[in-house]
Amino acid sequence: MSNKNKDLIPQVLTVLFIILVLIYFTINAQNNMGNRGISFGFGFLSQESSFDITFSLIDYDGSHSYAKAFLVGLLNTILVSAIGIFFATILGVTVGISRLSQNYLISKTAECYVEIFRNIPLILQIFFWYFAALRALPLTIDSINFYDISFLNVKGWYVPRFIWTNFSLFVYSLIAATVLIIFVSKYAKKKRDEIGKQVPVFYISLGILFGLPFLTFLIGGVTLSFQIPELTQLSKTIYVYQGGVTIIPELISLALALSMYTATFIAENVRAGILGVNKGQKEAAASIGLTKGQILKLVVMPQALRIIIPPTTNQYLNLTKNSSLAAAIAYPDIVLVFAGTALMQTGRAIEIISITMLTYLSLSLSISAFMNWYNKKMAIKEK
Amino acid sequence: MKSIKTWILVVLASSLLVACGQGGGGSGSKKSKTLDNTKKAGFVKCGVSQGLPGFSNADASGNWTGIDVDVCRAVAAAVLGDADKVKYTPLSAKERFTALTSGEIDVLSRNTTWTLSRDADIGLTFVGVNFYDGQGFMVRKNSGINSVNDFKDGISACTNTGTTTELNMRDFFNSKNIKYEPIAFEKADEVVQAYDAGRCDTYTTDKSGLAAQRTKLSAPDDHKVLPETISKEPLGPVVRQGDSVWEDIVRWSLNVMIEAEEYGVNSSNASSLKDSDNPAIKRLVGAEGELGAAFGLDNEWSLRIIEQVGNYGEIYKKHIADTNILPNRGPNQLWTKGGILYVPPAR
């Protein structure tokens, strides 16, 4: 037998073995389900779900299908993960840089923050933010009032609803502004490379971003008005705000807990990244007269990012997966809505759990793919 | 050539595994696999709630009590001769059916509502009803709400996820044309905490559950249960489909407790009634007939249930009435006394 075959056979055997194990599990599951009178199939997805969900980004009620309920749960998971990732990144970078500050108070505060929030289990933090917040917030009638347009109480945070006319024109103007900004920054980079002149990209971009949409208000007929939440009385002591948009306390506390927790890990990544940049780089930058801010932005950060991005990708994935703890505090994410209520009402455990697992897998792989792309973009380009 | 031999071995071993898998399920014969396994293990595997006073609740030292627990104790007394030989598994509403169909437990006695889809679709069989319940609402006394007709658009209602209550709530509010905010938690304790904190205006679940959970609130007297009942909730023990002998054992363990009350047989007088004049009583205490043989049990199985666990009236009094959860038996009274408890005769 040739050497090539010798190398190949163990691998083929392994693959075959895995396939056989899978076949065994499938047949076993099928048999057991058959014996216990459980049918298998995805037909239930089109049936009427007949349960309602507190909070949904799309139009949904119990007369819609289980597939739609799944979508509601998925969007809620994506929403809380996106909010969590956004704030975790901002907070993490801030705290990470603060830990390296020369100022004793700032660096110690940042250190305390990291050590406290990193070392308490996430589920306890979620319970803390939820139940502590619920206990601390006032009842509807005594709401905390923000200038008579927004109200915070135990049932949620009520904000004005935006009512648009010609909304599509406004969106187009935003797209146009984005495209314009990309061109401006490309042009600025070219100018800098060619004649070494700094174009104030930031201010120009800011101008375009606000100016263009503002123009649509002036000449495009776009109008925006607000519907302010109004206090209505339901009974002697029960009040509720109606008419505005409600941000439910479950979403607020979950997003808060997720971002506070994950920010500690990102902060440590950022600190490691900055410390990982050679000291000589900073000294060289200082010697040509760059300011402290410029050194951080132009010399340290671009190099630190290469160290920061890969472990931070892991933290983004963790945050997304950790959002499944939402079920504990009634935030209607995919686990609560689909792997919880829908599973119970239909009893289709194998189908629903497989769909849910595949969904988390796809979410994680998408985040991972995006971060890999970003990492490549940031990597050292050999010229 | 060693690799080829290994290869053949692997294939043989795997096909053996597959063959085992095909033969591994339940059997259709008269013999009960669950009964055999229970006798071999020496305890009944019983699924209960995570803590519902009166139904299934663990005290500080881990002893489970309640009328749902007593169904499992009755089965253990009948099958193993000792009511204490039960292993309890606390389950959330979401986990309960999977735990039963996967064989982690053999009896699910966890305030579970008997519905058509649960009975027919997901491999379960309901064996009877040990508590007739109905869904109700709890509100704060000072809320000014005295009936479900006082609910208005925008009301928020807390409940448990994965229960029939979630569906009934929707049916109810839809029929009244009221827009409501449903907040569904996985565990009952969190529902209680959220309601207590004022997150929702009303807490809805089975009325027995409301009465039991009210005791956990910070000021139980500030809350009341509204008079209306919006659904039928017959709660009862559940077994896996496909083992009819085991199903019969659990069904009749429950039935003899109710019949014993009907004939005035209780834990203290049962053994002295062996020479009663009434043949129905003699059958209950195992002095006449060969009733146990039908399940492969001895003839004193029902006597042990009555002696060790008690009749239905005794367990209701002990767990539900004396604990002040629902002092009035309502529909859970014998048919002879104006209730709807009516079981087929044990003969």
Is residue A236 domain-resident? no
Count of helix runs (H) and strand runs (E) in chain B: 12, 14
The domain tally of chain B equals 2
DSSP code per residue over B244-302: HHHHHHHHHHHHHHHHHHHTT--TTTTGGGGG-S-HHHHHHTTSSS-GGGGGT--TTHH
Domain annotation covers residue A28:
yes
Tell me the CA distances in angstroms from B216 to A177, A287, B131, B208, B259, one per residue in order. Answer: 57, 69, 21, 13, 34
CA distance B194 to B139: 13
pLDDT score of B130: 94
User: Are B221 and B267 in a shared domain?
Assistant: no
Single-letter amino acid code for the residue at A136: A
Q: Is residue B336 part of a domain?
A: no
pLDDT attached to residue B309: 95
Q: Is residue B19 part of a domain?
A: no
Task: Give the model's confidence band at B9: pLDDT under 50 very low, under 70 low, under 90 confident, else very high.
Answer: low
Q: What percent of chain A has pLDDT over 90?
A: 41
Which string of b and e fits B330-346 if b means at least 16 CB within 10 Å?
Answer: bebbbeeeeeebebeeb
Higher pLDDT, B32 or B309: B309
Token pair, residue B250, equals 């659990």
Beta strands in A23-176 (DSSP E): 144-146, 150-153, 156-159, 161-165
- State whether the Cα torsion B8-B12-B13-B14 is positive or negative: positive
**Closest approach of chain B CAs to the CA of A53, in angstroms?**
6
Within this chain, do residues B144 and B285 fall inside the same structural domain, yes or no?
A: no
B21 vs A: CB within 8 A: yes
Name the phi and psi angles at B93, rounded to 5.
-55, -35
Residue B143, chain A, CB below 8 Å: the answer is yes
CA distance A78 to chain B (A): 20
Q: Nearest-CA distance from B23 to chain A in Å?
A: 8
pLDDT, residue B30, reads 56
For A210-278, the DSSP string reads HHHHHHHHHHS--EEEEE--EEEE-SSS-EEEESSEEE-HHHHHHHHHHHHHHHHHHHHHHHHHHHTS-
Looking at the fold, whether B128 and B40 belong to one and the same domain comes out as yes
| B177 and B267 both lie in a single domain | no
Residues B242 and B119 in one domain: yes
Residues B89-94, mean pLDDT to the nearest whole number: 88
Overall number of domains in chain A: 1
Pairing of strands A161-165, A156-159: unpaired
Q: Which of B201, B231, B261 is at the close of a domain?
A: B231
Q: Is residue A308 included in any domain, yes or no?
A: yes
Which residues in chain A show pLDDT less than 50? none
Which of chain B's residues have a Cβ under 8 Å away from the Cβ of A234? 151-155, 201
B175 pLDDT more than 80: yes
Nearest to B86 by CA among B123, B115, B56, B116: B56
- The answer to whether the CB atoms of B25 and A242 lie below 8 A apart is no
Q: Tokens standing for B244?
A: 């009819």
Same-domain status, B169 and B191: yes
Tell me if B242 and A36 make a contact (CB, 8 A cut-off). yes
Among B206, B231, B256, residue at a domain's last position: B231
pLDDT in tens, A54-71: 888 888 988 899 999 999
Q: If pLDDT is split at 50, 70 and 90, which confidence band does B7 have?
A: low
At residue B21, the pLDDT reads: 42
Partner A, chain B 91-120, Cβ-Cβ below 8 Å:
93-94, 97-98, 101, 117-118
Of B94, B117, B154, the CB nearest to A242: B154
Q: How many CA atoms lie within 13 A of B4 on its CB side?
A: 3
B93 pLDDT above the threshold of 70? yes
Q: B147 with B259, same domain? A: no
Q: Are residues B24 and A32, on separate chains, in Cβ contact within 8 Å?
A: yes
Report if residue B6 sits inside a domain: no
**Model confidence pLDDT, tens digit, residues B274-307:** 888 899 999 999 888 888 888 889 989 999 999 9
Say if residue B57 is in the same domain as residue B124: yes
Q: At a CB cut-off of 8 Å and minimum separation 6, what does A122 contact?
A: A257, A258, A261, A322, A325
What residues in B contact A240, CB-CB < 8 Å?
Answer: 154-156
Could you tell me the CATH number of the domain that includes residue A295?
1.10.3720.10
| DSSP single-letter state for residue A58 | S
Please name the member of B156, B180, B242 whose beta carbon is closest to the beta carbon of A155: B156
Closest Cα in chain A, distance from residue B101 (Å):
7
In a domain, A291, yes or no: yes
Indicate the pLDDT class of residue B27, thresholds 50, 70 and 90: very low
Look up residue B168 and give its two tokens. 């009934």
pLDDT at B254: 96
Phi, psi angles (nearest 5°) of residue A73: -60, -45
With respect to residue A199, please indicate whether it lies within any of the assigned structural domains. Answer: no
CB B256 within 8 A of CB B176: no
Instruction: Please indicate, yes or no, if residue B227 is contained in any of the structural domains.
Output: yes
Of B140, B152, B170, the CB nearest to A237: B140
- Give domain status of residue A228, yes or no: no
- Which site among A341, A346, A352 would you substitute to test the B interface, given the most B Cβ atoms closer than 10 Å to its Cβ? A341
Q: Please report the pLDDT score of residue A14 as a whole number.
A: 92
Nearest chain A Cα distance for residue B240, angstroms: 7
Task: Give 3-state DSSP helix, strand, coil % of chain B, rounded to 5.
Answer: 45, 15, 40
**Contact call for residues A299 and A285 (beta carbons, < 8 A):** yes
Say yes or no: B91 and B109 in one domain: yes
Structural domain includes residue A45: yes
| Secondary structure (3-state) at B160 | strand
| A347 contacts B121? CB cut-off 8 A | yes
B116 plus B263 within the same structural domain: yes
- Do B117 and B149 have their domain in common? no
Q: Kindly tell me if the per-residue pLDDT of B22 is higher than 70.
A: no
Report how far residue B209's alpha carbon sits from residue B187's, in angstroms, rounded to the nearest whole number.
13
Give the A:B interface size as CB pairs under 8 Å.
173
Q: How far apart are CA A220 and CA A198, in angstroms?
A: 34
B18 touching A, CB under 8 A? yes
Report which residue type is found at B293.
Answer: A
Are residues B247 and B226 part of one domain? no
Which CATH number is B250's domain given?
A: 3.40.190.10
Is B201 near chain A, with CB under 8 Å?
yes
* Min distance A152 CA to chain B CA atoms (Å): 12
Q: Do B97 and A344 touch (CB under 8 A)?
A: yes
Domain housing A110 = 16-137+249-346+370-383
Residues spanned by the domain of B145: 135-231
Burial of A151 (0-12, 13-18, 19+ CB in 10 A): buried
Is A311 in contact with A368 (CB distance < 8 Å)?
no
Residues 6+ positions from B170 with CB-CB distance below 8 Å: A50, A51, A52, A62, B182
pLDDT at B14 over 60: no
B43-68 confidence digits (pLDDT tens)? 999 999 988 889 999 988 889 999 99
**Chain B residues closer than 8 Å to A236 by CB:** 142-145
Q: Of A356-365, B89-98, B125-134, where does mean pLDDT reach its minimum?
A: B89-98
Residues A235, B140: C-beta atoms closer than 8 Å: no
pLDDT interval class at B173 (50, 70, 90): very high
In a domain? residue B10: no
Interchain CB distance below 8 Å, A31 and B24:
yes
Asked if B152 reaches chain A (Cβ–Cβ under 8 Å), the answer is yes
**DSSP label of B225:** E
Which residues of B fall within a CB distance of 8 Å from A340? 94, 161-162, 186
Confirm whether A360 is domain-assigned.
no
- Domain-embedded: residue B221: yes
- Residues paired with residue A124 on neighbouring β-strands, in sequence order: none
pLDDT of B17: 47
Does A235 contact B182 at a Cβ distance shorter than 8 Å? no
Task: Report how far residue A139's alpha carbon sits from residue A141's, in angstroms, rounded to the nearest whole number.
Answer: 6
Q: How far is B267 from chain A (nearest CA, A)?
A: 37
Smallest Cβ–Cβ distance between A235 and the set B123, B144, B199 belongs to B144
Per the CB < 8 Å rule, is B198 touching A134?
A: yes
B33: exposed, middle or buried (C-beta count within 10 Å: 0-12, 13-18, 19+)? Answer: middle
